[in-house]
Structure 1
């Protein structure tokens, strides 16, 4: 089996600028449980979903209307043998004007079928990009994970990764 990165895409009637702004509004399409700036170059931010997934990202590229890239600095899944599978992966959002449409291509560079989390992760990203982010862009309201109670996750690990 060939090792490939996970990719999914959508097309919308909105402008590249609107798509770019929606991507950077991570709390409105991925999760309301985000701490730190998601729209500032070289800044880190923290995401968690209950005790299932904790992740520290760094914004490594911001090209308005064209591209957003995050690098996974730390990661923990509670449902696989190697909880740090994503560490070093890059999450890439590429925006292209195509006629009167705008195409957004999302790639998780490093998320391959060799990962134990692949099936769950590809299903989740497909939903976040093709459903939640698509709705945020087209109708102004995404479907992010809701904010949760503070006792719903691994606080010790989260505190270790928190932003200074």
Structure 2
């Protein structure tokens, strides 16, 4: 059994719409992105007001089915982050899987492969993903204001 962070949400939109929200509209529900994830090899950086940045490269892009983002650069800045925690995301992957559940229903599963309890930032990052994936993305796809 994997100990990587993983969460699933059910949303009242098609898998295509959910995929679009993750690949092209991440700035709407997570944080400011430097660009979209439109195809294999695309790179973009997530930037936060506190100076935190995470840079990702698309390793697998299958529309309305699967997206894998490899974190090749991390600089996590947070009041409780220690120096070794700043780069813990490097080498981890964000994996999104999309499943059609009905005419306008889909299930989105997100795993942060490599984000395990052994990492110093685990508790902080789990709270963040619970807020942004389970809260903000779900609200965005439900047609409500984002939680963030």
What TM-score, normalized by structure 2, do the two folds share? 0.86
Q: 2:26 maps to what in 1?
A: 26
Q: 2:87 aligns with which of 84, 87, 105?
A: 84
In 2, distance between residues paired with 1:127 and 1:20?
19
Displacement of 1:3: 6.6
Counterpart of 1:62 in 2: which secondary structure?
A: strand
Greater gyration radius: 1
Displacement of 1:50: 2.6
CA RMSD of aligned residues (A): 1.9
Verify the 8 A CA contact 1:6 1:108 in the aligned structure 2.
yes
Counterpart of 2:96 in 1: which secondary structure?
A: strand
Q: 1:14 maps to what in 2?
A: 13
Displacement of 1:12: 1.4
Displacement of 1:18: 1.0
Counterpart of 1:30 in 2: which secondary structure?
A: coil
Q: 1:98 aligns with which of 83, 86, 101?
A: 101
Q: 1:125 aligns with which of 117, 124, 129?
A: 129
In 2, distance between residues paired with 1:3 and 1:61?
21
1:102-136 alpha-carbon deviations (Å, 9 max, x no partner): 11100000000011110110110011111111121
In 1, distance between residues paired with 2:96 and 2:62?
10
In 2, distance between residues paired with 1:23 and 1:84?
23
Q: Structure 1, unaligned stretches of length 5 or more?
A: 145-164
- Structure-to-structure mapping, 1:28-43, within 5 angstroms: 28-31=28-31, 33-43=32-42
Counterpart of 1:17 in 2: which secondary structure?
A: helix
Verify the 8 A CA contact 2:99 2:106 in the aligned structure 1.
yes
In 2, distance between residues paired with 1:140 and 1:16?
18
Verify the 8 A CA contact 1:45 1:56 in the aligned structure 2.
yes
**Cα–Cα, structure 1 residues 92 and 116, in superposed 2: closer, same or farther, change >3 Å?**
same
